[in-house]
Amino acid sequence: MVGSIKKNEFKYESEKLAMMYYRVAIILLGAQLLMGMIIAIQFLYPAFLFEIFDFSVARMVHINALVVWMLFAMIGSVYLLLPSETGIETVAVGVGKLLFWVFTAAITVVVLVYIFVQVGAGTEASIWLIHEGREYIEAPRWADIGIVVVVLGFIYNVYATAIKGRRTGIITVMMANLLALAGLYLAGMFFTTNITVDQFWWWWVIHLWVEATWEVYVATVAAWSLIQILGAKRQIVEMWLWIEVAMLFGSGILGMGHHYFWIGTPEYWWEIGALFSALEPVPLVAMLVHVIYDWGKEAGRQGGKAHMTNTPAFVWIVANAFGNFLGAGVWGFFHTLPQVNIYTHGTQFTSSHGHLAFWGAYATILIGMFYMGLQRAYGVKTMKATFNFKMAVWLLNGGMLGMTVALLISGYGQVLVERAQFGATWEGFFISQNAIWFVQGMGWRLAMGAVMLVGFIFLIIDLLTIGKNAKLSETVAKA
Ligand code: HEM
Ligand code: HEM
Ligand SMILES: [Fe+2]
C-alpha cells in the first residue's frame, strides 16, 4: 500500500523548486531558534561561550538567519503559486533551480564565515569578505552582489512567466511589489562615512521591507491561499489587495519617520513620523477584517460549514492575521509616537515588538505556505489538522506570546528605572540591567524560547509526515 504512494505528485517543476526553497528555509529557522537560545542564555550568564562565540556574533547569526529564511520561503512561495495563477509552467525553471543552488551555497559560505571567522579589522577587506556590520543585512559585499544576481534571475522568471501566461490581479501586484522589494536592497549596499546618512539609507531597506513591501507580499500570498483553501471569491480578495497596497505604501513610506527621531535627521521627522506611522495599523486592521470576512462569508455560502482544503495552512493564515495586527499594529503603535519613543527607544520594549511583529506578520504565514506546498507535493485534496500540527501551533505561538510579554516587562523595567528615574545615564543603564524585573523577564524569555524550540520539533515531525499520511488515508478511502 505504502509502496503505491508516489512521493512526487507535482504538476509543475516550479512547485518542486518551491519545496527546495522551503527545505532550506526550515533549516535556517531551526538555526535561528538555536542562536536565539544562545543569546538568551548569555543575557543571564554573560560568561557563556565568552570569546568562543560572543553575543554580538550569535545575535548577528540569529537575525540574519531570520531575514534569509524568510527570503527563501518568500521566493519559494512565489514559485509555488506562479503556475497556479498563470496557468503555465515557470518559463526558465531550470535557471531557477541553478540559482537556488548558487544562493544556498553563498548563504552557507556567509554563515560559515560568520561562525568561524566572526570579526575582522573593520577595513574595506572585511566589508567585502566578512560582514558589513549593518544590522539584519550584514552579508559581506560579495554576497550582496551575488544576491542581486540571484534575485534578478528570479524576477526575470516571474515577469517572463506572467507575460506569457494569465495575468491576474494577484500576479500584477506581485510583479510590481517584487521590483520594489528587490530595488530597496540596493539602498543597503553602499557606504557613507556619515553615520546619520548611513542609518537613513539603512532604514530604507529595513523599514520599507517590513512595513511596506513585505506586508504587500503577504497580502498577495494570503489572497491566493484563501482562494485555494476556501474557494474565496477572486473579486473580493483582489479588491482588498488593491486597497491594502494603496494604504500600506501611503502610511509605510512616510511612517519611516519613526526611525528618524534620534539619529540626527531634521526635527520635522517628529511630526511626519508620528502622524503617518500612527496610521500604519489601519491597513493591518483591514487585513484582519479581510481574512475573517472572507471566512465568514464563505461559511455562510456553504450553509455554516466552509469548505476547507487545507486546515493547517488556514490556521497559520488566521494566526498571521491576528499576529500581524497585534505585533505590528498594536505593539508598533505603543512606541511609535516620539513622546513615548524617547523613553522606549532601543529597550527590550523594541525587542518585544520586533519579535511579535516578525513572528506574527511573516513567520506564521510562511509556515502556512509550507503546508500549501506539501499539499501539492503529495497531490492530496484535503489536508487535515494532525496532533503534531496542533502541538506545534500551540507551543510555537504560545511560546512567542509568552516571550513577548516577558520582554515587555523587562522593557518597562528599563523605561522606568534607566530612562525615567535615572535620566538615561550610563549608571542608570547598569542599575536597570540588574533590577529584578529586568532579570526575571530575561529568565522567562529563555523559558519561553525553550517552549518554542519544543514546538519547532513538533513542526518538523509534522512537516515530514503529514503529507504522506494524508495521501495514505485518501488512497484507503478511494479503495
Ligand atoms: C510586520 C511589520 C513590522 C515588523 C516586522 C517590525 C519590526 C521591527 C523591528 C525588528 C524593530 C527594531 C529595529 C532595530 O533593530 O532597531 C522595529 C522598530 C520599531 N517599530 Fe516596527 N515592525 C513592524 C511594524 C511596525 C509598525 C506598524 C509600527 C508603528 C505603528 C512600528 C513601530 C516601530 C518603532 C517606533 C520602532 C523603533 C523602536 C525604537 O525606537 O527602538 N513597527 N520594528
Ligand atoms: C528560541 C526563541 C528565541 C529566542 C530565545 C530569541 C532571543 C533573542 C535575543 C536574546 C535577542 C537579542 C536582543 C537584544 O539585543 O537585546 C534577539 C533578537 C531578535 N530576535 Fe530573537 N529569539 C527567538 C526567536 C526569534 C524569532 C522566532 C524571531 C522572528 C520571527 C526573532 C526575531 C528577532 C529579532 C527581529 C531580533 C532583533 C530585535 C531588536 O533589535 O529589537 N527571534 N532574539
Ligand atoms: Fe518602522
103 lines ligand 1 (CB under 6 A): no
Cα angle at 357 between 355 and 359, to 5 degrees? Answer: 65
Ligand having the closest approach to the CA of 438? 2
Which of 148, 166, 184 represents a domain boundary (last residue)?
Answer: 166
Q: Are 225 and 339 members of one domain? A: no
Q: Are 314 and 292 members of one domain? A: no
Q: Are 414 and 279 members of one domain? A: no
Q: Are 343 and 426 members of one domain? A: yes
Residue whose CA lies nearest to ligand 2 atom number 14:
351
Tens of pLDDT, residues 304-336:
666 789 999 999 999 999 999 999 999 999 999
On whether residue 71 sits in a domain, the answer given is yes
Q: Are 14 and 58 members of one domain? A: yes
| Alpha-carbon gap, residue 70 to 26, rounded angstroms | 9
On whether residue 453 sits in a domain, the answer given is yes
pLDDT band at residue 236 using 50, 70 and 90 as cut-offs: confident
Q: Residue 1 above 50 pLDDT?
A: no
On whether residue 351 sits in a domain, the answer given is yes
Mean pLDDT of the chain: 93
287 lines ligand 2 (CB under 6 A): no
In 10 A of CB 381, how many CB atoms?
Answer: 11
Number of domains in the chain: 3
On whether residue 222 sits in a domain, the answer given is yes
Q: Residue 3 above 50 pLDDT?
A: no
Ligand 1 pocket test, candidate residues 203, 336, 345, most atoms within 8 A of CB: 336
Q: Residue 241 above 90 pLDDT?
A: no
What grid cell was written down for 295? Answer: 471566512
On whether residue 215 sits in a domain, the answer given is yes
Residue whose CA lies nearest to ligand 1 atom number 23:
328
pLDDT band at residue 195 using 50, 70 and 90 as cut-offs: very high
Residue whose CA lies nearest to ligand 1 atom number 21:
332
What grid cell was written down for 177? Answer: 511589489
In 10 A of CB 116, how many CB atoms?
Answer: 7
In 10 A of CB 95, how many CB atoms?
Answer: 14
Range in 145-149, 293-297, 374-378 the model is least confident about: 293-297
| Alpha-carbon gap, residue 383 to 386, rounded angstroms | 9
Ligand having the closest approach to the CA of 323? 1
Ligand 2 pocket test, candidate residues 62, 74, 432, most atoms within 8 A of CB: 62
Contact 286, 244 (CB under 8 A): yes
Which of 239, 262, 296 represents a domain boundary (last residue)?
Answer: 296
For residue 354, report the distance from its CA to the centre of ligand 1, in Å. Answer: 6
Q: Which atom of ligand 2 is nearest to the CA of 33?
A: 1
Q: Are 367 and 394 members of one domain? A: yes
For residue 205, report the distance from its CA to the centre of ligand 1, in Å. Answer: 13
388 lines ligand 1 (CB under 6 A): no
Give the residue numbers spanning the domain of 464.
Answer: 309-479
Measure the CA dihedral 454/457/459/462, to 10°. Answer: -130
What grid cell was written down for 162? Answer: 506572467
Range in 43-57, 221-235, 373-387, 453-467 the model is least confident about: 221-235
Q: Are 25 and 145 members of one domain? A: yes
Which of 261, 296, 331 represents a domain boundary (last residue)?
Answer: 296
For residue 303, report the distance from its CA to the centre of ligand 2, in Å. Answer: 44
Ligand having the closest approach to the CA of 214? 1
| Alpha-carbon gap, residue 419 to 429, rounded angstroms | 8
Q: Looking at residue 304, what is its pLDDT?
A: 66
On whether residue 179 sits in a domain, the answer given is no
Q: Are 24 and 155 members of one domain? A: yes
Q: Residue 470 above 50 pLDDT?
A: yes
On whether residue 304 sits in a domain, the answer given is no
| Residue type at position 32 | Q
For residue 474, report the distance from its CA to the centre of ligand 1, in Å. Answer: 45
Secondary structure (3-state) at 38: helix
For residue 244, report the distance from its CA to the centre of ligand 3, in Å. Answer: 17
396 lines ligand 2 (CB under 6 A): no
Contact 94, 102 (CB under 8 A): no
Q: Which atom of ligand 1 is nearest to the CA of 136?
A: 15
Tens of pLDDT, residues 345-359:
999 999 999 999 999
Query: Over pLDDT 90: what percentage of the chain?
Result: 83
233 lines ligand 2 (CB under 6 A): no
Residue in the structure block whose three cell numbers are 569578505: 129
